[in-house]
Amino acid sequence: MLTLRTTALAAALAAAAFMTACGSDDDTYGAIAFSYNTTRAAIVTGGWTQSEANEEARDRCNAGDCTVVLQFRECGALSAGTLPSGRLIIGVAEGRSTLEAQTAANSACTTNGGVSCRDVPGLPPQCN
* pTM of the predicted structure, to 2 decimals: 0.79
- Residue 10 falls inside a structural domain: no
- Residue 67 falls inside a structural domain: yes
- Residue 7 falls inside a structural domain: no
- Residue 6 falls inside a structural domain: no
- Residue 15 falls inside a structural domain: no
- Residue 4 falls inside a structural domain: no
- Residue 16 falls inside a structural domain: no
SS3 44: strand
Nearest-angstrom CA–CA distance, 107 and 92: 9
Name the more confident of 61 and 18: 61
Name the more confident of 26 and 27: 27
Domain count, the chain: 1
- In this prediction, residues 35-62 reach a mean pLDDT of 97
- Residue 40 falls inside a structural domain: yes
The model's pLDDT over 64-123, given as tens digits with 9 standing for 90+, comes to 999 999 999 999 999 999 999 999 999 999 999 999 999 999 999 999 999 999 999 999
Domain that includes residue 79, residue range? 24-127
Q: List, in order, residues 6 or more apart from 126 with CB less than 8 Å away.
A: 30, 43, 45, 75, 76, 98
